[in-house]
């Protein structure tokens, strides 16, 4: 697992293009965290990738019009091993509200 | 005060747009309403896919941005194949789509599609316009990205209420991109490294791709190749970049490349790539591609590097900058004598054309066509066997003279693309070669050809099969011709007549004698020089095959030169 920090201008579709570079390679996206960073935005991804894919992703991300900088490092997998919020929460809440 | 639609057209004019290709519909009606008197000529195709391929044809032959317009929903989704095609083949393209009214976006309104989302992974850049104020900026930025770096497609989606709204218009704007680390140019140090690699090499080769044309570096490239004087070959999009009479030129490389080119590529110890993506149709099995070679890759788009095989020296930048730098360095050094390698790679034995191929009447027919073309010509092909035969037989030094859907391999490309090419080059002989399958995918554009009176010369190589698929079925699927039989094709001659286009038929018996008879030659000459559109249907043997052929998963050195018994 490797982490990638991608600094970008938050224009239409830029985050989706960044994510698409991973999803088109059928890479799972267990961690995606996007947030403002100074005057720009940054998204942090954790991906299970091989060395060849790292190179391809770097170059593809840099090819996106509003990507500014890409850096990477080893992932802290334990911290990210926590389960996602249950997918059904919103539906359960809606059901409860409907029954009330 | 101007309407948004008028602002769009003013901005298009400011970008140098004179022609747009499109098909009207509900959400884009305000833009069509504003066309008259705008200075932008609209070409009505008969399908949105025809419009986007025509815009691509225009862009490919001129190097300028092609523009296609369509309405929301199905109009926009019909553009998608052309957008993907432009992405693969680096074609500068701007698609303007109407969108449902802003308050309806996201409601699954009539003819609403998330075109921005659908095309996100196929475009270099896209914008869903939210206010009328964004229109000038969106168009300026869209054209910038379509043209810049490795050219490609852009989508600008404009809700119909933005096209109807009014505002004070201060004029078109200029877009200035932010500087990015990714835009860095190649360091100067690469030149002496390549020279050092050449001095260590005994079997160097050069591979030329579309980037050489797109960068405008053809004169520099040709001088460099003359100086290098090493075996050289081209991808299908590199055809025309190297004069075919150059003594070091070996023709097309790859799956249906020449035996000489593929063999040299397999044996080389130094491969210099000039603006090619090195996709699987060029490399064959990647792990056995140029197995003895160091690779120097001149490329404008870093994303194309190392896709199938790591390169040893990437040279990132516009070839118009990097080739002259390399050539200047080269002149300061002497290179080893490569003549014995050149003698082997370019020798008569390898360069000899496939004798079986020569015997094929279809190949003779293409040779007759190409040899009789007027000087000012552009050849387009559709996708399939005829495309590869044409690429193998094409002999021209016109860099933008051979146009085909190479990366995506989109059947139905040729006829509408020929419309765009003929409009861009009204004085040229535009020869559009299709198969019977592909021609029927956009056959409706015969109406566009007729309405505009475009003198496109259309050829259908009619083998009554989806020929390339059938060839694979024959060679690799034990002749199980599943759903490739088109023996109930319509009579194309009669169809053309219904569109008021003159048409006639030749069968391959006319090509059995060599040289062809005076009568056949005259027929072809008259066809190519007619001032009117014409269709020639060539009846081809149903089971003619394209050779050489590198089977999927094989190395380039394992090409088949003729049919082998089915395993």
In the predicted structure, residue B566 carries a pLDDT above the cut 90: no
For B371-393, what is the mean pLDDT?
A: 96
Q: What is the pLDDT of residue B512?
A: 84
Taken in order of first residue, the domains within chain B and their CATH numbers are: 2-172 (3.40.50.970), 189-351 (3.40.50.1220), 355-546 (3.40.50.970)
> B157: part of which helix (H) or strand (E)?
strand B153-159
pTM above 0.80, yes or no: yes
Burial of residue B332, with CB atoms counted within 10 A of its CB: 0-12 exposed, 13-18 middle, 19 or more buried:
exposed
Strand B457-462 to B534-539 pairing: parallel
Does B128 reach chain A within 8 Å, measured CB to CB?
yes
Q: What is the pLDDT of residue A76?
A: 56
The helix/strand/coil state of B184 is: coil
Q: What is the pLDDT of residue B184?
A: 54
Q: What is the pLDDT of residue B305?
A: 86
Does B303 reach chain A within 8 Å, measured CB to CB?
yes
Pull the structure tokens for residue B533.
Answer: 């559109």
| Closest residue in chain A to residue B115, using alpha carbons only | A13
Q: What is the pLDDT of residue B389?
A: 95
Average pLDDT in chain B: 94
The helix/strand/coil state of B504 is: strand
Q: What is the pLDDT of residue A78?
A: 52
Query: How far away is chain A from the Cα of B6, in angstroms, using its nearest Cα?
Result: 24
Q: What is the pLDDT of residue A87?
A: 43
Nearest to B403 by CA among B434, B439, B379, B432: B379
**CA dist A39 to A12, A61, A90, B1, B177, Å?**
16, 19, 33, 35, 16
- Residue tagged 């008969």 (tokens): B46
For A2-76, the fitting CATH number among 3.40.50.720, 3.90.580.10, 3.40.630.30, 3.30.70.260 is 3.30.70.260
For B100-124, what is the mean pLDDT?
A: 97
Q: Read off the pLDDT band of B564 (50, 70, 90).
A: low
Average pLDDT in chain A: 83
Residue A34, sorted as left (phi over 0), alpha (psi -120 to 50) or beta, turns out to be beta
Q: What is the pLDDT of residue B412?
A: 98
Q: What is the pLDDT of residue B182?
A: 54
DSSP code per residue over B396-451: ---TTSEE---SS--TT-HHHHHHHHHHH-TTSEEEEEEEHHHHTTSGGGHHHHHH
- Range with the poorest average pLDDT among B19-28, B315-324, B349-358: B349-358
**Can you give the residue ranges of every domain in chain A?**
2-76
Q: What is the pLDDT of residue A93?
A: 59
Which B residues, 158 through 187, put their C-beta within 8 Å of a C-beta on chain A?
177-178, 180-182
- Distance, C-alpha B512 to centroid of its chain: 32
Q: What is the pLDDT of residue B135?
A: 98
User: Which chain B residues contact residue A16 at CB under 8 A?
Assistant: 117, 120
Q: What is the DSSP letter of B134?
A: G
ipTM over 0.85: yes
Q: Which of A9, A63, A65 sits opposite B303 (nearest CB)?
A: A63
Q: What is the pLDDT of residue A82?
A: 46
In the predicted structure, residue B149 carries a pLDDT above the cut 70: yes
Q: What is the pLDDT of residue B551?
A: 94
> In this predicted model, what pLDDT tens digit does every residue of B391-443 receive, in sequence order?
999 988 999 999 999 999 999 999 999 999 999 999 999 999 999 999 999 99
Most B CBs within 10 Å, among A10, A40, A52, A63, to test the B interface: A63
Q: Decide which of B186 and B497 is more confident.
A: B497
Q: What is the pLDDT of residue B453?
A: 98
Q: Decide which of B74 and B355 is more confident.
A: B74
Cβ atoms B259, B354 nearer than 8 A: yes
Q: Decide which of B275 and A91 is more confident.
A: B275
- Range with the poorest average pLDDT among A85-89, B98-102, B194-198, B450-454: A85-89
Q: What is the DSSP letter of A17?
A: H
Neighbours of B324 (CB within 10 A): 16
Angle formed by the axes of helices B319-330 and B190-200, nearest 10°: 60
Q: What is the DSSP letter of B106?
A: T
Nearest to B342 by CA among B206, B238, B222: B206
Dist CA A97 CA B26 (whole Å): 41
Sheet containing strand B125-128, strands side by side: B41-44, B19-22, B66-70, B93-99, B153-159, B125-128
In the predicted structure, residue B522 carries a pLDDT above the cut 70: yes
Query: How far away is chain B from the Cα of A20, in angstroms, using its nearest Cα?
Result: 7
3-state secondary structure chain A: CEEEEEEECCCCCHHHHHHHHHHCCCCCCCEEEEEEECCEEEEEEEECCCHHHHHHHHHHHHCCCCEEEEEEEECCCCCCCCCCCCCCHHHHHHHHHHHC
Pull the structure tokens for residue A81.
Answer: 């091993």
- Residue tagged 């990714």 (tokens): B182
Q: Count of CB contacts below 8 A, A vs B?
A: 48
Q: Which of B120, B180, B181 sits opposite A17 (nearest CB)?
A: B120
Dist CA A97 CA A89 (whole Å): 12
Query: Where is mean pLDDT largest: A81-90, B176-185, B252-261?
Result: B252-261
For B293-299, what is the mean pLDDT?
A: 95
Q: What is the pLDDT of residue A88?
A: 43
In the predicted structure, residue A77 carries a pLDDT above the cut 80: no
Q: What is the pLDDT of residue B527?
A: 98
Dist CA B86 CA B92 (whole Å): 7
In the predicted structure, residue A79 carries a pLDDT above the cut 60: no
In the predicted structure, residue B83 carries a pLDDT above the cut 60: yes
> In this predicted model, what pLDDT tens digit does every residue of A7-32 receive, in sequence order?
999 999 999 999 999 999 999 999 99
Q: Decide which of A87 and B455 is more confident.
A: B455
Q: What is the pLDDT of residue A62?
A: 92
Contacts (Cβ under 8 Å, ≥6 apart) of B294: B197, B201, B269, B270, B271, B312, B313
Pull the structure tokens for residue B205.
Answer: 């080769």
Dist CA B449 CA B133 (whole Å): 38
Q: What is the pLDDT of residue A51?
A: 85
Sheet containing strand A2-8, strands side by side: A31-37, A40-47, A2-8, A67-74
- Enumerate helices (H) and strands (E) in chain B, giving the number of each: 25, 20
Q: What is the pLDDT of residue A84?
A: 46
For B190-199, what is the mean pLDDT?
A: 94
Exposure class string for B357-367: b at 16+ Cβ within 10 A, else e? beebbbbbbbb
Strand B93-99 to A2-8 pairing: unpaired
Q: What is the pLDDT of residue B353?
A: 56
Half-sphere exposure of B453 (CA within 13 A, CB side): 2
User: Which chain A residues contact residue B178 at CB under 8 A?
Assistant: 9, 66, 68
Dist CA B413 CA B107 (whole Å): 34
Dist CA A8 CA B149 (whole Å): 19
């Amino acid at each position: 697992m490797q982490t990638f920090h991608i600094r970008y201008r938050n224009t239409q579709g830029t985050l989706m293009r960044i994510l698409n570079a991973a999803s088109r390679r059928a890479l799972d996206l267990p961690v995606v965290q996007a947030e403002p960073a100074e005057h720009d935005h940054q998204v942090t991804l954790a991906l299970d990738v091989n060395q060849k894919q790292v190179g391809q992703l770097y170059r593809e991300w840099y090819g996106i019009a509003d990507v500014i900088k890409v850096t990477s490092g080893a992932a802290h997998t334990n911290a990210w091993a926590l389960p996602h919020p249950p997918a059904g929460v919103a539906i359960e809440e809606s059901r409860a509200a409907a029954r009330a | 005060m101007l309407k948004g639609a008028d602002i769009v057209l003013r901005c298009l004019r400011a970008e140098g747009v004179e022609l747009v290709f499109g098909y009207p519909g509900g959400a884009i009606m305000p833009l069509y309403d504003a066309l008259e008197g705008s200075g932008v000529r609209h070409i009505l195709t008969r399908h949105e896919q025809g419009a986007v391929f025509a815009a691509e044809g225009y862009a490919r032959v001129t190097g300028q941005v092609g523009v296609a317009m369509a309405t929301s929903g199905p109009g926009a989704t019909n553009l998608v194949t052309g957008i993907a095609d432009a992405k693969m083949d680096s074609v500068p393209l701007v698609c303007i789509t109407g969108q449902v009214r802003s308050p309806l976006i996201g409601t699954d309104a009539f003819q609403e599609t998330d075109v921005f989302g659908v095309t996100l992974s196929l475009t270099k850049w896209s914008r869903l316009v939210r206010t009328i104020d964004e229109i000038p900026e969106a168009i300026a930025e869209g054209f910038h990205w379509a043209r810049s770096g490795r050219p490609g497609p852009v989508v600008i989606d404009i809700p119909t209420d933005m096209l109807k709204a009014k505002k004070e218009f201060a004029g078109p704007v200029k877009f200035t991109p932010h500087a990015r680390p990714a835009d860095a140019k190649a360091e100067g140090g690469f030149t002496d490294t390549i020279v050092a690699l050449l001095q260590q090499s005994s079997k160097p080769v050069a591979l030329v791709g579309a980037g050489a044309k797109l960068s405008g570096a053809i004169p520099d490239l040709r001088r460099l190749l003359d100086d290098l004087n090493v075996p050289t070959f081209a991808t299908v999009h590199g055809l025309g970049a190297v004069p075919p009479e150059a003594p070091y030129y070996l023709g097309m490389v790859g799956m249906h490349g020449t035996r000489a080119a593929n063999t040299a590529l397999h044996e080389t110890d130094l491969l210099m790539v000039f603006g090619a993506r090195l996709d699987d149709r060029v490399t064959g099995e990647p792990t056995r591609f140029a197995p003895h070679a160091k690779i120097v890759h001149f490329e404008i788009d870093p994303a194309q590097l190392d896709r199938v095989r790591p390169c040893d020296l990437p040279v990132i930048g516009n070839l118009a900058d990097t080739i002259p730098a390399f050539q200047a360095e080269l002149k300061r050094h002497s290179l080893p004598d490569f003549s014995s390698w050149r003698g082997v790679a370019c020798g008569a034995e390898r360069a000899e054309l496939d004798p079986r191929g020569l015997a094929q009447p279809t190949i003779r027919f293409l040779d007759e066509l190409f040899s009789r073309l007027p000087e000012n010509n552009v050849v387009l092909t559709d996708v399939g066997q005829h495309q590869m035969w044409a690429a193998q037989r094409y002999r021209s030094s016109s860099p933008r003279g051979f146009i085909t859907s190479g990366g995506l391999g989109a059947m139905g490309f040729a006829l509408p693309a020929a419309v765009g090419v003929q409009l861009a080059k009204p004085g040229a002989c535009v020869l559009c070669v299709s198969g019977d399958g592909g021609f029927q995918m956009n056959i409706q554009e015969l109406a566009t050809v007729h309405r505009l009176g475009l003198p496109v010369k259309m050829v259908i190589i009619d083998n009554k099969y989806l020929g390339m698929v059938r060839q694979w079925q024959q060679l690799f699927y034990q002749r199980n011709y599943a759903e490739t039989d088109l023996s109930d094709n319509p009579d194309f001659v009669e169809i053309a007549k219904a569109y008021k286009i003159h048409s006639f038929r030749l069968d391959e018996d006319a090509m059995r004698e060599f040289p062809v008879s005076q009568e056949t030659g005259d027929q072809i000459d008259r066809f190519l020089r007619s001032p009117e559109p014409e269709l020639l249907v060539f009846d081809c043997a149903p089971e003619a095959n394209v050779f050489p052929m590198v089977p999927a998963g094989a190395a380039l050195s394992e090409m088949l030169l003729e049919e082998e018994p089915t395993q």
